Structures are given as C-alpha cells and as structure tokens.
A and B are shown apart, each in its own frame.
Chain A
C-alpha cells in the first residue's frame, strides 16, 4: 500500500479527517466546565438505582449474525470482480459463477432453516 501513489491522497485525507475528532475533543477540553459529583458518575438506568452488574452475558445470536455476515461478505468480495468484468468473460465463466452463487444460496437456506437468522 505504501508504494501505490494513487493512495497518497487517501492517507492525507485520513490524517486530516482524524484531526476532526481530535480537534473537537481538545476544544471541548478547553471550553467545557468540569464539575464532578457522585450522581454524575453513575450509569443511567431511567432514573432508578442500577441493579446488578453492568455487563450482560453476550447472547449467541449476535455471533450467529456476524458469522453469516462474514460468509456473505467474502462471497461478495469474490462476486465483485466477476460482476465488473462480466462482458469480456465468456459463458463458461458465467456458469461457474452461477454454480458458486448456487452453493452459497444453499448455505443461506441451510442457515435460515436451522434458525441462525432468528432473533428470539
């Protein structure tokens, strides 16, 4: 990445846009008042006293969604170059890509039927 000169402006823009929150925090650190108090440091639980620990047990269904997302994201990464340069490739490539998408649709149907996409 460091040898590709067309990305120079990307790095410059990254540095400049990371200055935006830094600048915001600094200005706020200078201008904003600080008046500590015990009530201010407690967590918000709609006005009542907090009950129990602050960290929930992580539910497995978030992980299932993320897992299925990773599978489909990698599929999309593979489908992108095919979709872009589609017209110069032949029919045989189309059939191969079609089989690939069918395999992944099979995986999607499996995940659906097994309940990986349920939120209950």
Chain B
C-alpha cells in the first residue's frame, strides 16, 4: 500500500524494536484487514440506513428492537441467516449452486482494491485503476448464471439469464462514461466547480443509472421481482448463501457509490464555496493522520449521499419491465454514452 511518510516513520519505529521484527514482515496484512473491517461496518450501516430511510419514506418506524435505534438489525439478520438450515436442491448441481453466490461476493469485494479514500490512501495503486473495477464486475454475471442453472428450477434459470442479460447490458455505458473522466487530482485543480459533475453532466447521469442497474436496485429490480419470478435466481437459496447474495448486493451498492464519488464528485477534496471556514482548508492541506482522517471522512460523506439517493430512488420509482430495461440500456444509454465520449474528445481537441 502506498502510505504517507508519517506512517512509514511509525512502522520504522516498530521495526527497530526487536520484539516486532518477526511481525514486520506481515505488516502488509494490516491495511487489508482495516479495509475489510471498514467494508463490514459499511455494510452494517447501509443495511440499517436502508431500513430507516425506507421507513421514513413510507411514514412508519424502522427497526427499533435490535439494539438502540435498531443499529444491530443487520447483525441480527446475519445471525439469523447463519443459523438457518442450508437447503440444497435435490437434482441441482450442488457445486454450481454453492460457487454462484461466492463468485458474486468475491468479485464485488475485489473492486474495493482501487478506491482511493484519501491522498495516496489506496490499497493498490495500480496504473489501471477504474478499469480493474469494470473488468472484475464483469465476472459477476457468471455467478448469477451458475446460481440460476444449479437451482434445478425453471424460474430460477430464467431469472438468472435475465439478471445476467441486465448486468451485461449496462456494463458498456458504465465503461464508456468512466473513460471520459479524469480522476481526483485533475478535478481538484478548479475546486468545487472543477468537479466532474459539472464538466460531464450527461456522463454523470448515465453513470448513475448504469450503476443502479448493475447493482440490481429498483427501478431495475426485475431479477428479484416478487410477482414475476418469485425471487429469480435467488429462489432456492436459504440460510447463509442467501445472506451472501444480500451482502453482495449491498457491497456492490457501496462500491458504486464510492466510484461515483471519486469519479464525479471530487473524491476527497473539500472545496465547497461560500462556506466560511478557511481554517478548515489549512487543516486540509496539513499532512499527517488528521489530514488523512478528514479525507476519508469527506469521501465517505459523499458516498453516503449517493447511498441516500439510491435508497430514495428505490422507494420512489416503479419497477421496469425487462424489455423496457434492455431498451433503455442498449437503445438509449449506449448511443448517449458514445456521443458523450465523442463530444468530450472533440471539445478537448478544439480547446487544445
């Protein structure tokens, strides 16, 4: 992990004391475990937020029994699902049945490698960055197809095929729109008005719609539609495998929100005008642990804004039919994103 000088000094001070010599070789595991802990807490928070926000939209009270204000609801759900019996379909393919949700979870977890939470606070500073997320998220439809086929149920099979078709249809606008942005450092040159949100409004909207469709959230909820396909490819799942699908869905939502933040909303920069706190700007440029904490906090705050928008959209818009969904992806978003790419490049050419 690329780490700042203060952290290097801390680690060096650890290494000089002889007791920690043998631990020093394994120091690389700490950032990974920190990220996994952060992701886990993030998922718990999202589950709780979803319940509370949906309750507020529907004018009812959300969870209130599991812990104070229902904060431990996600843990209670997870524990319940862990203790449920794991049913395997009798003539289904057991190996595909088990591997399907695992692939869905692993491919989403791997995308967290390239998200920068602050200046050089990224787990893997690869040259390809966003492209790694696009490439790995293309593996998720394989997991959906495996789980649909291995369930020995025609509705699950049909649901799995539809979910895979939906996933792949929205990959292309996602990829094309993320290729036209320059990432946080270039955005920070102009402060608030340099955010890619203003420079690429069409791209932002297309990216938002495509990432909602990738996460299979409403209004693109058809794989989980209760009236049409029971629960789609998740019908025959019970217990912890169902929990893995649930987890993959929320992880995908969080990583999409983080990518929207980094690509379009200026990442860890806090430069909203008209807020008269100039001393905060000086703190922002301060190196050290406090600066890093502020950066992480800003990134997470922006990502949670997007989560709020996603959750509100889920409870506001009706579900789309499969042909409407695919038409939107192929016949509307794809030409728009290609046009956006050509427009961006030609306008940059003109200004050169």
Contact = CB atoms under 8 A, between A and B. Distances in A.
Interface of A: 6-10, 12-14, 16-18, 20-22, 24-25, 27-29, 31-35, 40-46, 52-56, 58-59, 62, 65-66, 68-69, 72-73, 76, 79-80, 83-84, 86-87, 91, 94, 97-98, 101, 105, 108, 112, 117-120
A13 B30 CA distance: 11
A79 B342 contact: no
6 contacts: A17-B36, A42-B90, A55-B157, A73-B172, A87-B348, A117-B327
Interface string B70-106: 0000000000001111110111000000100110011
Interface stretch (B54-62, B121-129, B204-212): B121-129
Contacts of B83: 28, 31-33
A108 to B, nearest CB: 7
Given A62-B165, A69-B168, A9 B123 contact: yes
A80 B181 CA distance: 11
A109 to B, nearest CB: 9
Given A9-B124, A21-B244, A43-B89, 10 more contacts: A9-B113, A10-B110, A17-B36, A20-B105, A33-B83, A35-B85, A56-B154, A69-B171, A76-B175, A94-B346
Nearest to B352: A87
Instruction: Bin chain B's interface residue count.
Output: 35 or more
B323 A101 contact: no
B28 A44 contact: no
Interface of B: 1, 28-29, 32-33, 36, 82-87, 89-91, 98, 101-102, 105-106, 109-110, 113, 123-127, 131, 138, 151-155, 157-158, 161, 164-165, 168-169, 171-172, 175-176, 179-180, 230, 235-236, 239-241, 243-244, 322-323, 326-327, 330-331, 334-335, 338, 341-342, 345-346, 348-349, 352
B98 to A, nearest CB: 7
The interface centre, meaning the residue of A12, A72, A79 with most chain B CB atoms within 10 A of its CB, is: A72
